[in-house]
Amino acid sequence: MSALDNFFKRFRKKKPPPPPRREPLRLAEQVIQSDEAKDRIVTAVSKHGPGTSLRWDKMLKMINTNEEPTEENYDPLRVEIDREELKLVLRNLYDNKRSIASDGLALAREFIPLMYDKHSVKRALNVSQRERDQRGITNECYAYGEIDHEIFAAMYLRLISVFGEKQNGIFYDLGCGVGTLVYTAAFIGNFERVFGIENISALLERGEKRTARFERFQSSYTEKIRNTIFEWIEDDFMTNGFWADGDFIFLHWTAFTNDQQRTIAKILSSCKEGAYVITFTSPIPGDDFDILVHDTCVTSWGLSDFYFQEKITPAKKRNV
């Protein structure tokens, strides 16, 4: 190097060091403030839907995979959250999903009232009580109650919009009554088969016979809805667990005893990993399910807590 080069080198400006990098986002309250971080989470949930083996581990790995700095972007976003913080973020997204429009919801709003034009909660309650009296059924777990189909639809759409939905799944309403939620699930969900399970035959009959009304309006449905398979089964689901193959299970067990709930929980333990279950009043006992949402909704018996839970363990063998 010449003397002249050395002279100018002394006066040449040095490139300033880049400013310090931002700290990684480790808390839900930090992630919620970042649209980029939330978009990363939404993408991870979409890629690893319910039923994916080790779903939460795979989502976290994707969310926490961070880019290295470059000259163009010396401070790319870094996320380092754990499972509990991820659940808090998803719960926040759920809380802020106040209304969701869908073609299926529009169809349910139009056709469920036509299918059930003569139905009322009082009439169903009388039908249920009459058969219980005739059969000598005194167990209060068979007490009639129902949730409005629009409330269920709003609940379902909010949940799956945040936590994901399995394609071509199986839906069960355990204690389906007159079947309004079974038809609603066919309208709003991505289900290949929908089941109504009920031990009071007079109620089940009222649900099943409306299949003819459902089919009457088929020209207005999408192909997916038209191809949905309906099955109506008179059964005591507490002793027969064939329904454990479900991907989405709806269970109103407010009037069930602790022993009855534990009996059902044993059957639920044989559900596949990633199965969703909604229970009312209390969650599923044991550690096979993770509570993703605890919320309230209006039912025929008043304001009730409900729990949206996901099976986090592999299916267990069950002695039949």
The pTM of the full predicted model, rounded to 2 decimals, is 0.90
3-class DSSP assignment, residue 193: strand
Q: For residue 320, is pLDDT > 50? A: no
Q: What is the pLDDT of residues 91-112, one digit of tens each?
A: 999 999 887 889 999 999 999 9
Report which secondary-structure segment, H or E, holds 280.
strand 276-280
Residue pair 63/44 in contact (Cβ under 8 Å)? The answer is yes
Report which secondary-structure segment, H or E, holds 149.
helix 149-163
Neighbours of 29 (CB within 10 A): 11
Q: How confident is the model at residue 137 (pLDDT cuts 50, 70, 90)?
A: confident
Residue pair 14/131 in contact (Cβ under 8 Å)? The answer is no
Q: For residue 318, is pLDDT > 60? A: no
Chain centroid to CA 288: how far? 16
Q: 289 has which bridge partners?
A: 311
Highest mean pLDDT: which range of 64-73, 129-138, 154-163, 310-319: 154-163
Neighbours of 69 (CB within 10 A): 13
What value does the mean pLDDT of the chain take?
Answer: 91
Rg (CA), the chain: 26
Q: How confident is the model at residue 164 (pLDDT cuts 50, 70, 90)?
A: very high
